[in-house]
Structure 1
Amino acid sequence: MVIRFVGGIPARADFDALLRQDPQVAEVLGGEAERQRGTLQLIAAENFTSPAVLAALASPLADKYAEGYPGARHHGGCEFADAVERIAVERAKALFGAGHANVQPHSGSSAVLAAYAALLRPGDTVLALGLASGGHLTHGSPGNSSGRSFRFVGYGLDPATGLVDLAALRALAREHRPKAVVCGSIAYPRHPDYAAFREVADEVGAYLIVDAAHPLGLVAGGAAPSPVPYADVVCATTHKVLRGPRGGLLLCGEELAERVDRAVFPYTQGGAQMHTIAAKAVAFGEAATPAFTAYAHQVVANARVLADGLAAEGLELTTGGTDTHLITADPAPLGHDGRAARGLLAAAGMVLDTCVLPGGDGRGLRLGTAALTTQGMGGAEMARVATLFAAALREGADGRALRAHAADLAGRFPPFGG
């Protein structure tokens, strides 16, 4: 089917043409569609984009080269590229109450690295959540350019509560006097205390960078506190709960706008992906609606029901529950470590990730409710998922029968009505 635009201009989303021209790739894409339709998508970092977002991704802007920024491009013919980027920027600023937005980062990692480039110099000290406590690779991994360019000091979590140890964070800041403090995690199910992070950064004269890749969609829907009033720079992705295309986003005040923009282009990236920026604009527009607000709150409500169900089935939840879309749990009480549990759950039709547990003591499970909520599932379905989840981890479970149950549940709730 060809999606047509105003004036009859077709998108490049003609699957029949792909099937005729390249059946090998078409077969793979068809297999992925069937996988998504037939399993429960519990990966906390994934979601389903709307048909409108997909249409923008498949638009003629996929063919447009547009290095630079609106009004200052290195290529001709950018009047419509400029228009859509301005729309995306203004919508992002309004949605999050930010003085400035840069919508060009290709990913969340690109956004974080650009924030470092804007605020830091090679060799500067940065305080960030340790990798063994749920920090992202861009928070100082030796295999990432962040760990090679800057001196990272890792703060941790209280092993008893799973929460950020703010007293230890403050002590480390006083000891190391970092140039920047990074707030953010890939596996933190509670709302960060942004005000406390701001106080620590101010005490030592550091910038505060918030990596809000996971919670920003909830922020857009009013279901989580905003980091924007506290952070010097907010880095995020536009997928996950925000339900846009795969890409990154930077938010800051007007005083840092030029530094942030130059850090994205030309320092860390070349040409912007204009079809993705168009899709971001669509997603920001969707996120400003009452329907998205209801969605974001339902995501959190579903996560709490699912968390309660998993706890009742015997899994141990880190922090005792969740405030967000994200749940982290230790399956050890049911006799498995995280990697073994993930395999059993995959065989039973439930797709999710592993994560480090507080204190770095083994691997647990990380799952989220954003995608299932997009499919229209509610509390009753979350209770059912918890039952299937626990059954898959019990000795003697029939993985094939459970997979059929998971496929039936997924099939009854196609994203956006199909």
Structure 2
Amino acid sequence: MDEDSVRQTDPAVADALDGERNRQEDTLAMIASENHVSEAVLEAQGSTLTNIYAEGYPGKRYYAGCEYADDVEQLAIDRAKELWGADHVNVQPHSGSQANMGVYLAVLEPGDKILSLDLTHGGHLSHGHPANFAGQIYEVEQYEVDAETGYLDYEGLAETAAEFEPDMIVSGYSAYPREVEWERIQDVADGADAYHLADIAHITGLVAAGVHSSPVGVADFVTGSTHKTIRAGRGGVIMCDDEYADDIDSAVFPGMQGGPLMHNIAGKAVGFGEALDADFEEYAQQTVDNAAALADRLQEHGLELVSGGTDNHLVLIDLRPSHPDTPGKDVEEALEDAGIVLNANTVPGETRSAFNPSGIRAGTPGLTTRGFDEDACREVADLIYEVVDAPDDEGVIAEVSERVDELTDEYPLYDD
């Protein structure tokens, strides 16, 4: 990737860009919400489309000079429809959170009721946390996973819905390692006469490839991020039936944002095109297989996983049973020192602060993009356990770091 012009114009920024590329090259990205896009997506997102304003939608812009923007956005829309089988797609949201905002604005009024999963049980801020816009504008009640099993408590969800009488139920999660039964949640929504929003931000790619069940055609609205398991660059997407198309489009523009980021939409178009290739299904399946291998080996080491394993791209480790005096933030920092980048995370029944919780979350999308298979992920699990078991041991950190260096050399990220 050529950054010569940046270096000539702004060496300080160029140094930071070089540093970030080297950081990604030389570490193992295991934050479950991160991935590595192709150089084609990077080029599209750094294209001259960043120069134009394109308020409106293809064929109905408020500015002249949008013919090529129209082409790119229509390609992104058409490819998204093919990937997920949606009737209507809006590719303009800048993020998954803004996609959720677009849905809320389309069909809810301030003060309406949202029922969503508790953040400490795997939900997301934009589903109604009080610090987020959703929690400030709407009345929010939350359901939970079963504390014993770590699985969604569908019966508890139904009981809460009957009592709370929500206007919208939100499904889809940021730290839930099991497959979601969309139809069961839709049945609850139908019984409550509520809308159902399925947020597939984490599993967009898995759903597109058919390795996770799809809520498209089940839920009223489906939102997602485009930079996690789908590898299409940063941004969001909304899918719905045709009956909600006008409401969604009006909520996104002019409801919540002005001109779309057309360079990001170009990245989405390229990434969606890549996801339509047959080998993307192999990638998605390998991502799931790698997560299963990671989970099994971590359990062999005696670490406890929420729900006892995984069906998707992530594992959630509860450190309390095996390492009760080791909070997640300490492990996160020690692993980063060793070159393995993941995040501390709350777990069901959390007993610590969200700033220094009792768990860690690890994902395999980025490793799989680099070419890791199950054996390589088992070795990564071994390295994670070594650090979890001795986060203050500088010798252990140094040994793990050395092996991480060997793995990143063996599985390079981008060609020079």
TM-score calculated relative to the size of structure 2: 0.95
Name the SS for the 1:236 alignment partner.
strand
Aligned to 2:405: 407
1:301-316 equivalence runs, <5 A: 301-316=289-304
Name the SS for the 2:69 alignment partner.
helix
1:365 is aligned to 2:360: yes
Aligned to 2:128: 140
Name the SS for the 1:208 alignment partner.
strand
Contact 1:208 1:231 in 2 (8 A): yes
Aligned to 1:107: 95
| Pick aligned residue for 1:90 from 61, 78, 82 | 78
| Pick aligned residue for 2:369 from 362, 371, 374 | 374
Q: Which moved more, 1:67-76 or 1:291-300?
A: 67-76
Shift of 1:411: 2.1
What CA distance in whole angstroms lies between the structure 1 residues aligned with 2:412 and 2:312?
A: 23
1:260-275 equivalence runs, <5 A: 260-275=248-263
1:218-237 equivalence runs, <5 A: 218-237=206-225
Shift of 1:398: 2.1
What CA distance in whole angstroms lies between the structure 1 residues aligned with 2:17 and 2:93?
A: 26
Shift of 1:417: 5.3
Q: Residues 40, 101 of structure 1: CA spacing in aligned structure 2 closer, same or farther, 3 A cutoff?
A: same
Shift of 1:356: 1.2
CA RMSD of aligned residues (A): 1.2
Aligned to 1:70: 58
Shift of 1:188: 0.2
Name the SS for the 2:169 alignment partner.
strand
1:387 is aligned to 2:377: no
AA in 2 matched with 1:384:
E
1:343 is aligned to 2:321: no
Aligned to 2:279: 291
Aligned to 1:193: 181
Instruction: Give identity over the alignment, percent.
Output: 45
TM-score calculated relative to the size of structure 1: 0.95
Aligned to 1:21: 9
Task: List gaps (5 residues or longer) in structure 2.
Answer: 353-357
| Pick aligned residue for 1:213 from 201, 216, 221 | 201
How many correspondences in the alignment?
406
Aligned to 2:345: 355
Aligned to 1:4: none
Residue by residue over 1:235-282, the C-alpha shift from the partner in whole angstroms, topping out at 9 and shown as x without a partner, is: 100000001111000000000000000110000111011111111011
AA in 2 matched with 1:174:
A
Aligned to 2:355: none
Contact 2:25 2:414 in 1 (8 A): no
- Structure 1 stretches of 4+ moved >4 Å: none
Aligned to 1:10: none
Shift of 1:46: 0.4
Aligned to 1:6: none
